[in-house]
Protein backbone atom coordinates (compact mmCIF):
# COMPACT_ATOMS: atom_id res chain seq x y z
CA UNK A 1 0.00 0.00 0.00
CA UNK A 2 1.38 3.43 -0.96
CA UNK A 3 0.33 7.01 -0.28
CA UNK A 4 -2.22 8.58 -2.59
CA UNK A 5 -0.93 11.25 -4.95
CA UNK A 6 -2.65 14.07 -3.05
CA UNK A 7 -0.98 13.05 0.24
CA UNK A 8 2.58 13.20 -1.09
CA UNK A 9 2.76 17.04 -1.22
CA UNK A 10 1.56 17.11 2.39
CA UNK A 11 4.30 14.65 3.34
CA UNK A 12 6.89 16.90 1.74
CA UNK A 13 5.62 19.93 3.66
CA UNK A 14 5.90 18.02 6.95
CA UNK A 15 9.32 16.61 6.04
CA UNK A 16 10.75 20.10 5.52
CA UNK A 17 8.71 22.05 8.06
CA UNK A 18 8.40 19.61 10.97
CA UNK A 19 11.02 16.85 10.62
CA UNK A 20 10.33 15.42 14.09
CA UNK A 21 6.67 14.78 13.33
CA UNK A 22 7.66 13.54 9.88
CA UNK A 23 9.74 10.79 11.49
CA UNK A 24 6.85 9.77 13.75
CA UNK A 25 4.50 9.50 10.77
CA UNK A 26 6.97 7.49 8.72
CA UNK A 27 7.23 5.03 11.62
CA UNK A 28 3.42 4.59 11.58
CA UNK A 29 1.39 2.26 9.35
CA UNK A 30 0.64 3.59 5.88
CA UNK A 31 -3.07 3.95 6.65
CA UNK A 32 -2.21 6.26 9.56
CA UNK A 33 0.12 8.32 7.37
CA UNK A 34 -2.77 9.15 5.05
CA UNK A 35 -4.52 10.83 8.00
CA UNK A 36 -1.57 12.37 9.76
CA UNK A 37 0.29 13.96 6.85
CA UNK A 38 -2.55 16.33 5.80
CA UNK A 39 -3.23 17.28 9.42
CA UNK A 40 0.42 17.91 10.22
CA UNK A 41 0.95 19.77 6.93
CA UNK A 42 -1.93 22.05 7.91
CA UNK A 43 -0.21 22.60 11.26
CA UNK A 44 3.08 23.49 9.56
CA UNK A 45 1.37 26.03 7.31
CA UNK A 46 -0.50 27.65 10.19
CA UNK A 47 2.39 27.61 12.66
CA UNK A 48 4.77 29.32 10.28
CA UNK A 49 2.29 31.91 8.94
CA UNK A 50 2.99 34.50 11.69
CA UNK A 51 6.74 34.21 11.10
CA UNK A 52 6.83 34.73 7.32
CA UNK A 53 6.46 38.50 7.55
CA UNK A 54 7.25 41.39 9.87
CA UNK A 55 3.89 42.99 9.01
CA UNK A 56 1.18 42.02 11.54
CA UNK A 57 -1.58 42.81 9.05
CA UNK A 58 -0.18 40.36 6.49
CA UNK A 59 0.29 37.70 9.16
CA UNK A 60 -3.31 38.20 10.26
CA UNK A 61 -4.45 37.76 6.65
CA UNK A 62 -2.47 34.53 6.32
CA UNK A 63 -4.12 33.10 9.41
CA UNK A 64 -7.53 34.30 8.29
CA UNK A 65 -7.07 32.45 5.00
CA UNK A 66 -6.80 29.19 6.93
CA UNK A 67 -9.73 30.11 9.14
CA UNK A 68 -11.79 30.63 5.98
CA UNK A 69 -10.72 27.18 4.77
CA UNK A 70 -11.87 25.62 8.02
CA UNK A 71 -15.18 27.48 7.83
CA UNK A 72 -15.70 26.03 4.36
CA UNK A 73 -15.04 22.56 5.72
CA UNK A 74 -17.21 23.02 8.81
CA UNK A 75 -20.16 24.32 6.77
CA UNK A 76 -19.68 21.69 4.04
CA UNK A 77 -19.00 24.18 1.27
CA UNK A 78 -16.63 23.67 -1.67
CA UNK A 79 -13.11 24.15 -0.35
CA UNK A 80 -10.60 26.38 -2.12
CA UNK A 81 -7.89 24.49 -3.95
CA UNK A 82 -4.55 24.01 -2.25
CA UNK A 83 -2.20 21.07 -1.84
CA UNK A 84 -3.20 20.79 1.82
CA UNK A 85 -6.85 21.87 1.82
CA UNK A 86 -8.14 19.18 -0.53
CA UNK A 87 -6.92 16.13 1.44
CA UNK A 88 -7.64 17.91 4.72
CA UNK A 89 -11.25 18.51 3.75
CA UNK A 90 -11.62 14.81 2.98
CA UNK A 91 -10.54 13.95 6.53
CA UNK A 92 -12.13 16.44 8.90
CA UNK A 93 -15.63 16.43 10.29
CA UNK A 94 -17.36 19.81 10.76
CA UNK A 95 -16.69 19.61 14.51
CA UNK A 96 -13.00 18.91 13.96
CA UNK A 97 -12.76 21.83 11.55
CA UNK A 98 -14.34 24.13 14.14
CA UNK A 99 -11.87 22.89 16.76
CA UNK A 100 -8.91 23.57 14.49
CA UNK A 101 -10.28 27.04 13.77
CA UNK A 102 -9.75 27.76 17.47
CA UNK A 103 -6.19 26.51 17.03
CA UNK A 104 -5.55 28.96 14.19
CA UNK A 105 -7.05 31.82 16.20
CA UNK A 106 -4.69 31.03 19.09
CA UNK A 107 -1.72 31.51 16.74
CA UNK A 108 -2.43 35.24 16.71
CA UNK A 109 -0.31 35.36 19.86
CA UNK A 110 2.69 34.48 17.67
CA UNK A 111 2.22 37.60 15.55
CA UNK A 112 2.75 40.12 18.31
CA UNK A 113 5.38 40.68 20.99
CA UNK A 114 3.08 40.81 24.00
CA UNK A 115 3.73 38.27 26.77
CA UNK A 116 1.11 35.85 28.01
CA UNK A 117 -1.30 37.49 30.44
CA UNK A 118 -0.90 34.75 33.05
CA UNK A 119 -0.43 30.98 33.37
CA UNK A 120 -4.04 30.33 32.39
CA UNK A 121 -3.46 32.24 29.14
CA UNK A 122 -0.31 30.25 28.37
CA UNK A 123 -2.01 26.95 29.22
CA UNK A 124 -4.94 27.83 26.94
CA UNK A 125 -2.56 28.67 24.10
CA UNK A 126 -0.74 25.35 24.47
CA UNK A 127 -3.98 23.38 24.66
CA UNK A 128 -5.60 25.14 21.72
CA UNK A 129 -2.53 24.59 19.54
CA UNK A 130 -0.82 21.36 20.61
CA UNK A 131 -3.80 19.88 22.43
CA UNK A 132 -6.26 20.37 19.57
CA UNK A 133 -3.72 18.97 17.12
CA UNK A 134 -2.91 15.81 19.06
CA UNK A 135 -6.51 15.11 19.99
CA UNK A 136 -7.68 15.55 16.39
CA UNK A 137 -4.91 13.21 15.25
CA UNK A 138 -6.02 10.61 17.80
CA UNK A 139 -9.65 10.97 16.72
CA UNK A 140 -8.72 10.51 13.07
CA UNK A 141 -6.91 7.31 14.00
CA UNK A 142 -9.87 5.92 15.92
CA UNK A 143 -9.66 7.11 19.55
CA UNK A 144 -12.95 7.61 21.36
CA UNK A 145 -14.03 10.58 23.52
CA UNK A 146 -13.07 8.81 26.75
CA UNK A 147 -9.40 9.28 25.78
CA UNK A 148 -9.55 13.04 25.19
CA UNK A 149 -8.56 14.33 28.62
CA UNK A 150 -5.53 12.06 28.87
CA UNK A 151 -4.40 12.84 25.35
CA UNK A 152 -4.57 16.55 26.07
CA UNK A 153 -2.39 16.04 29.16
CA UNK A 154 0.23 14.33 26.99
CA UNK A 155 -0.03 17.11 24.41
CA UNK A 156 0.45 19.74 27.11
CA UNK A 157 3.62 18.09 28.39
CA UNK A 158 5.01 17.79 24.87
CA UNK A 159 4.05 21.39 24.11
CA UNK A 160 5.82 22.74 27.19
CA UNK A 161 8.95 20.78 26.29
CA UNK A 162 8.83 22.11 22.71
CA UNK A 163 8.17 25.64 23.91
CA UNK A 164 11.16 25.51 26.25
CA UNK A 165 13.36 24.28 23.41
CA UNK A 166 12.20 27.29 21.38
CA UNK A 167 12.94 29.88 24.08
CA UNK A 168 16.35 30.97 22.71
CA UNK A 169 14.89 31.55 19.24
CA UNK A 170 11.88 33.39 20.66
CA UNK A 171 14.11 35.65 22.74
CA UNK A 172 16.27 36.35 19.71
CA UNK A 173 13.09 37.34 17.86
CA UNK A 174 12.44 39.83 20.69
CA UNK A 175 9.49 37.91 22.08
CA UNK A 176 8.73 37.43 25.78
CA UNK A 177 7.96 33.70 25.91
CA UNK A 178 8.03 33.04 29.66
CA UNK A 179 5.99 34.30 32.57
CA UNK A 180 8.85 33.48 34.93
CA UNK A 181 12.22 32.95 33.31
CA UNK A 182 14.05 32.35 36.57
CA UNK A 183 15.59 28.93 37.15
CA UNK A 184 12.95 28.27 39.81
CA UNK A 185 10.16 29.32 37.44
CA UNK A 186 11.47 27.14 34.63
CA UNK A 187 11.80 24.11 36.88
CA UNK A 188 8.28 24.61 38.24
CA UNK A 189 6.80 24.87 34.74
CA UNK A 190 8.61 21.70 33.69
CA UNK A 191 7.47 19.92 36.85
CA UNK A 192 3.83 20.87 36.25
CA UNK A 193 4.06 19.59 32.70
CA UNK A 194 5.81 16.37 33.72
CA UNK A 195 3.03 15.63 36.20
CA UNK A 196 0.60 15.47 33.28
CA UNK A 197 2.73 13.06 31.26
CA UNK A 198 1.22 9.73 32.17
CA UNK A 199 0.57 6.54 30.23
CA UNK A 200 -2.59 6.74 28.13
CA UNK A 201 -5.01 4.07 27.01
CA UNK A 202 -5.83 4.62 23.35
CA UNK A 203 -6.47 2.06 20.62
CA UNK A 204 -3.27 0.66 19.12
CA UNK A 205 -4.12 2.24 15.79
CA UNK A 206 -4.22 5.69 17.44
CA UNK A 207 -0.90 5.47 19.27
CA UNK A 208 1.19 7.05 16.47
CA UNK A 209 -0.65 10.31 17.24
CA UNK A 210 1.05 10.31 20.66
CA UNK A 211 4.56 9.65 19.35
CA UNK A 212 5.51 13.35 18.98
CA UNK A 213 5.56 13.37 22.80
CA UNK A 214 8.14 10.57 23.10
CA UNK A 215 11.04 12.81 24.11
CA UNK A 216 9.03 15.19 26.30
CA UNK A 217 9.62 13.46 29.61
CA UNK A 218 13.38 13.39 29.17
CA UNK A 219 13.47 17.07 28.21
CA UNK A 220 11.28 18.09 31.14
CA UNK A 221 13.41 16.08 33.58
CA UNK A 222 16.46 17.87 32.20
CA UNK A 223 14.85 21.26 32.87
CA UNK A 224 13.94 20.25 36.41
CA UNK A 225 17.55 19.21 37.08
CA UNK A 226 19.27 21.91 35.03
CA UNK A 227 17.05 24.94 34.26
CA UNK A 228 19.97 26.81 32.70
CA UNK A 229 19.78 24.37 29.77
CA UNK A 230 16.72 26.27 28.50
CA UNK A 231 18.41 29.61 27.91
CA UNK A 232 21.59 27.94 26.69
CA UNK A 233 19.74 25.82 24.12
CA UNK A 234 20.97 22.51 25.52
CA UNK A 235 17.70 20.58 25.80
CA UNK A 236 17.53 17.03 24.46
CA UNK A 237 16.14 16.38 20.95
CA UNK A 238 12.36 16.38 20.58
CA UNK A 239 11.89 12.80 19.39
CA UNK A 240 14.89 10.57 20.18
CA UNK A 241 15.49 7.98 17.46
CA UNK A 242 15.72 5.09 19.92
CA UNK A 243 12.46 6.04 21.64
CA UNK A 244 10.62 6.27 18.34
CA UNK A 245 12.00 2.92 17.17
CA UNK A 246 10.96 1.31 20.44
CA UNK A 247 7.44 2.76 20.16
CA UNK A 248 7.08 1.59 16.58
CA UNK A 249 8.26 -1.93 17.39
CA UNK A 250 6.31 -2.39 20.62
CA UNK A 251 3.27 -0.19 20.01
CA UNK A 252 3.85 1.54 23.36
- Residue-wise pLDDT for 74-96, tens only, equals 999 999 999 999 999 999 999 99
Q: With pLDDT > 70 as the criterion, what percentage of the chain qualifies?
A: 94
112 φ/ψ angles, rounded to the nearest 5 degrees: -105, 175
Residue 198: its pLDDT value, please?
83
Write down the pLDDT at residue 238. 73
Closest CA to 136 of 101, 171, 186: 101
- Tell me: pLDDT of 236 over 90: no
Q: What is the pLDDT at residue 83?
A: 95
Give yes or no for a contact between 179 and 122, defined as CB atoms under 8 angstroms apart. yes
For the stretch 121-162, pLDDT in tens is 999 999 999 999 999 999 999 999 999 999 999 999 999 999
Q: Which phi-psi region, left, alpha or beta, contains residue 233 (left: φ > 0; alpha: ψ -120 to 50)?
A: left
pLDDT beyond 60 at 113: yes
* Overall average pLDDT of the 160-189 stretch: 96
- Residue 241 has a pLDDT of 62
How high is the pLDDT of residue 244?
58
Q: What average pLDDT does the structure give for the chain?
A: 93
Q: What's the whole-number mean pLDDT along residues 220-242?
A: 88
CA proximity to 107, closest of 80, 77, 70: 70
Buried-state track 58-79, b at ≥16 Cβ within 10 A, e below 16: ebbebbebbbebbebbbeeeeb
Amino acid sequence: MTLADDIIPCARIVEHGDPDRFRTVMAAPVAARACLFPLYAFNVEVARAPWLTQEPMIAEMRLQWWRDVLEEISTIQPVRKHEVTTPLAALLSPAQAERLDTSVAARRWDIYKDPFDDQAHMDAYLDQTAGHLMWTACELLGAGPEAEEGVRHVAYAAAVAAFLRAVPALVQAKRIPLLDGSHQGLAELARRAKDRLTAQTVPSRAKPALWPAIGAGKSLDQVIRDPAAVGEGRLTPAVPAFGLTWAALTGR
